[in-house]
Structure formats: C-alpha cells, structure tokens
Amino acid sequence: MSVILKFSQFIQKTFALWVVFFAFIALCFPSAFVWMKAYIPWVLGIIMLGMGMTMTVDDFKGVLQSPKAVFIGVVAQFVIMPGLAYALCQIFQLPAEIAVGVLLVGCCPGGTASNVIAYMAKANTALSVACTSVSTFLAPVLTPAIFYVLASQWIPIDAGSMFIDILKVVIFPIILGVMLRTFFKQKTEQYIQVMPLISVIAIVLIVAAIIAASKASILQSGLLILGVVMLHNGLGFLLGYWASRLFKLPYADAKAVSIEVGMQNSGLGVTLAALHFATSPVTAVPSAIFSLWHNISGPALATYWAAKADNMKEDQS
C-alpha cells in the first residue's frame, strides 16, 4: 500500500503535467480518447463518490463555526464567476457555442481541488472545505438558474433537466459516499487513500476525451478560449480575495475564499456540456481548458502564498 500511496502523491504533485501531456496526446491521436466522451457522467460520478467518502460531519460543522466567511465565500462563488464569464463573453464578442461554454463553467460550484490548494497556500482549509460542500449542495438549484438567466440569450436552456443531471452526477454520488463512510468506516478508510489517484486519472481522461472530440474547434479557437479562461480564473482569484477583505475577513480566510472562487468544478461543466450540448462539442472546451489551467495557476498561487507565509514567520521570529 505504501508504494501505491507514494505513487499517488507523485501523480498529484505532477497533476498539471499529466493533464497537459494527455491533452497533447488527445490532439495528436483523437481516436484513442474520443470514445470516452460517452462515459464522462459516470467518470464524474466516481470523482464525486470519492469526494463524499472523504467528507465527515465535522466538515459541515465548519459552516456553523464561521457562517459569515462561508456565506461570503459561497455568494462570491455564484456572483463573481458567472458575472465575470458574462462580462468576458460580451467584451470578446465570443461565438455562441464558446460563450455558452464559458458561462457554463462560470456557473459551476467550487472545485474539490481548491481544498488541496488552500492547504498548500496555508489558507483556512476548513473554510475552503465548508465552502466547497455548501456550494456543491446548492449547485442543483443555483447552477441551472444562473446559467438560464445568463445564457438563454444565446441558446435555449432546459434548466429543469440540468437540475436532475446535477443531482444524478454530483449530489447522489456524494450522499452515497458519505453513507459508505458513515456505515463502513474501516473499509472506506483504505479506499480513501487511493481516491485522489483515481480522481486525477478520471479528470485527465475527461479532459482528454473533450480535447479529442473538439480537435477542429480547438485548432481554430483554442488560443482565444485559453485567453478567456486565463482571465476568468485570474480575475476570480483576485476578486474573491478583495471581496473577502472588503468584508473584513482574516487574511487566511481571504486566501481560502480567493482559491474557492477562482477554482471551478470544471468536470461538472464538461459533463453538463456533453449531456446538454452534444451537437456542439466546442461548448465543453472552456471547461476542459479551465480544468487544465486552474491546476497550473492554483498551485502557482499556493506556492507564492506559502512562501509569503514562511517569510512572515521569519520576520516575526
């Protein structure tokens, strides 16, 4: 087991490199990955099951311990990222298919990777976990509702169907995971240790499948989408941080909210795009590229904040 754990840790630390590597392979040999697209909802369900297996009652106690910070984090998540997505679509006059994809990832809840990045950044990790949990459980209602308001000018949106799909691929697997952790704690402890490795492999396959299915669109508009995604992610970090400071949250809390806002559950965005806009594969590309980019920018930001925290300690000693 120790060998598997070491391998898992290595894969997690080099996650961004694997995403880039397999995205490149998918561009060169799309037929090797395009078949995976049909299984994306199931793959995301496995990731969410793993998330549920790592959750405990203590995670939800964090909401009661710092309700103001959680409230600010969740509101910022569902206001800043959809708002930024809409603004970027208007500023760059994005084609309808790409605009819908950008808005879709913007309306998703916080990503599970944000908790790891918050820990690396020496932020308030408990707050990050609480925000992720609350935003994820609100997603079935808020994601379709906000997406409908912002995206319906470009394309007809079936918010009711999207609500059901989020329940199926996100909420039900998480609840099942929590139940397994509650009733079979000792057995699930063994599986929890390898779940990060499974999640990394799953996300890499999801990104590769979308890249493969959208090769032509990426070659045509890939740089534009990458530029928009980089702005979306970077401004999300920035505005999430300053919104927290505006409401006088402590520095560690502000870092956690910043990371929570900037990092989206892009796997959900890919899945919803694949389910609802299958005739326009490019709609899933912003979510796929977001998954790639925020796993580069997140660790970079965490490294900067961790180094800053270490310097502050040295100055105080």
Q: How confident is the model at residue 47 (pLDDT cuts 50, 70, 90)?
A: confident
In angstroms, the CA 212 to CA 190 distance is 34
Q: Of 247-251, 284-288, 308-312, where does mean pLDDT reach its minimum?
A: 308-312
Q: Average of pLDDT values for 65-93?
A: 92
The predicted-structure confidence for 13-45, as pLDDT tens digits, reads as follows 677 778 788 888 888 888 888 888 777 778 778
For residue 46, count other CB atoms closer than 10 A to its CB. Answer: 18
Q: All domains of the chain, ordered by start, with CATH?
A: 2-307 (1.20.1530.20)
Give which of 128, 80, 102 is closest to 255, Cα–Cα.
128
pTM of the model: 0.82
DSSP 167: I
Q: Of 18-22, 99-103, 105-109, 253-257, where does mean pLDDT reach its minimum?
A: 18-22
User: What is the pLDDT, as a whole number, of residue 174?
Assistant: 79
Give which of 303, 273, 283, 265 is closest to 81, Cα–Cα.
265
User: What is the pLDDT, as a whole number, of residue 34?
Assistant: 80
More confident residue, 233 or 50: 233
User: What is the pLDDT, as a whole number, of residue 1?
Assistant: 54
88-98 in b/e form (b: 16+ CB < 10 A) is bbeebebeebb
Task: Calculate the average pLDDT of the chain.
Answer: 82
User: What is the pLDDT, as a whole number, of residue 167?
Assistant: 82
What is the Cβ-side half-sphere exposure of residue 190, based on CA atoms within 13 angstroms?
Answer: 4
Dihedrals φ, ψ of 193, to 5°? -65, -30
- Reply yes or no on whether the pLDDT at 145 is more than 80: yes
- Reply yes or no on whether the pLDDT at 97 is more than 80: yes
Residues pairing with 264 in the sheet = 110
More confident residue, 190 or 297: 297
Give which of 91, 78, 210, 204 is closest to 136, Cα–Cα.
78
User: What is the pLDDT, as a whole number, of residue 78?
Assistant: 94
